[in-house]
């Protein structure tokens, strides 16, 4: 099966009350861990690549690794550009075989966001590729952007119908209080489900995307801190909130930080326990296994998309 778009996946997810996991990838072990997990529980997958990941690993290497995963697993896999910030990067990914792109104009004024998003949609749709847009702005850190809490803003539900109608986007990322990275909440975790419900009411049947959805699993942070790391105050979105989102209009849930934590915690532990080992395969193998277990857990216990491939 060639790489697929999210069209069919989102339709089924919306109707079935579950969500598809969109996992960030940047090397072979991460791609293998995620796709082997999805294979075992027969789940559809979105593998997503940020601009930083594409610079790190190279477009062609990532493309070929994902194609290899598709051949090995025969799962429906969508390859998605995460947080594209210009027409040019979206075009390069569309021309280079991605089946979905995000154009993130969330930092732009409304009219400019519409103009840029529509330009990408016109090009993408002419090439059979789907597009995710964004309204509202998440706080947090990504490679290329750092958004402070003051700069972040919730999605305004009254803008969503016009944005979707004028751009033609296939899905919409909204900001309801999650943020990128491992430090999501200073106090109690709080998400604006009222905004999500109002957006869903205004866009019946339309797939919504939730970014910043790592749980920052406490045991992984503890392990990192135990073996020489220093991540005090790391905190993510409780799983119960994600399960609630997955049952709603949210069809795509983005997870990156938890993968990073799983890999780093495992490698720190391994090297602390085997100070004389220096073959990368020795510590990357358990790291890949940790990613696999984490992704299986997310699919079965959080997203609910097991058995839906």
Binding site for ligand G3H (CB under 6 A): 24, 50, 52-53, 82-83, 142-144, 180, 256
Q: Smaller CB distance to ligand G3H: residue 105 or 270?
A: 105
For residue 3, what are its two tokens? 């790489």
- Is 5 a residue that touches ligand 13P (CB under 6 A)? no
CA dist 47 and 300 (Å) reads 17
* Residue with tokens 């940790």, as numbered in its chain: 290
CB of 237 to ligand 13P, least distance (A): 7
Does residue 84 contact residue 120 with C-beta atoms inside 8 Å?
A: yes
Does residue 129 contact residue 99 with C-beta atoms inside 8 Å?
A: yes
CB of 62 to ligand G3H, least distance (A): 12
Q: Which does 21 bind (CB under 5 to 8 A by kind): ligand 13P, Zn ion, ligand G3H, none?
A: none
- Is 255 a residue that touches ligand 13P (CB under 6 A)? yes
Q: Smaller CB distance to Zn ion: residue 116 or 267?
A: 116
Cross-sheet strand order for the sheet of 139-141:
146-147, 139-141, 179-180
- 263-277: burial string, b at 16+ Cβ within 10 Å, e else: bbbbbbbbbeeeeee
Kindly write out the interface string for residues 10-49 of this chain, putting x where it contacts ligand 13P by CB under 6 A and - elsewhere. Answer: --------------x-------------------------
- Is 260 a residue that touches Zn ion (CB under 5 A)? no
Q: Is 171 helix (H, G, I), strand (E, B) or coil?
A: strand
Q: Which does 70 bind (CB under 5 to 8 A by kind): Zn ion, ligand G3H, ligand 13P, none?
A: none
CA atoms within 13 A on the CB side of 259: 27
Q: Which of 211, 252, 288, 297 binds Zn ion (CB under 5 A)?
A: 211
Residues that bind ligand 13P (CB under 6 A): 24, 82-83, 180-181, 211-214, 254-257
């Amino acid at each position: 099966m060639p790489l697929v778009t999210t069209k069919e996946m989102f339709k089924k997810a919306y109707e079935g009350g579950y969500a598809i996991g969109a996992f960030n990838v940047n090397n072979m072990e991460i791609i293998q861990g995620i796709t082997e997990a999805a294979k075992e529980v027969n789940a559809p997958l979105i593998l997503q690549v940020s601009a930083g990941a594409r610079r790190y690993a190279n477009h062609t290497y990532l493309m070929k690794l994902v194609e290899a995963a598709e051949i090995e697993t025969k799962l429906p896999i969508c390859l998605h550009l995460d947080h594209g910030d210009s027409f040019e990067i979206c075009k390069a990914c569309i021309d280079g075989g991605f089946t979905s792109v995000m154009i993130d104009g969330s930092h732009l004024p409304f009219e400019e966001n519409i103009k840029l998003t529509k330009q990408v949609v016109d090009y993408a749709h002419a090439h059979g590729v789907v597009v995710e847009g964004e309204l509202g702005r998440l706080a947090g850190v990504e490679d290329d952007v750092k958004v402070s809490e003051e700069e972040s803003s919730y999605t305004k539900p009254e803008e969503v119908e016009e944005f979707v109608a004028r751009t033609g986007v296939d899905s919409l990322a909204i900001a309801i209080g999650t943020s990128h990275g491992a430090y999501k909440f200073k106090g109690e975790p709080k998400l604006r489900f009222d905004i999500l419900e109002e957006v869903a009411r205004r866009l019946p049947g339309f797939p919504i995307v939730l970014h910043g959805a790592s749980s920052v699993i406490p045991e992984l942070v503890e392990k990192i801190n135990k073996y020489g790391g220093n991540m005090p105050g790391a905190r993510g979105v409780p799983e119960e909130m994600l399960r609630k989102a997955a049952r709603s209009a949210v069809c795509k849930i983005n997870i990156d930080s938890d993968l990073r934590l799983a890999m780093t915690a495992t490698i720190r532990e391994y090297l602390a326990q085997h100070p004389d080992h220096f073959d990368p395969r020795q510590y990357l193998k358990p790291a890949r296994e940790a990613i696999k277990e984490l992704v299986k857990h997310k699919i079965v216990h959080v997203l609910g998309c097991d058995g839906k491939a």
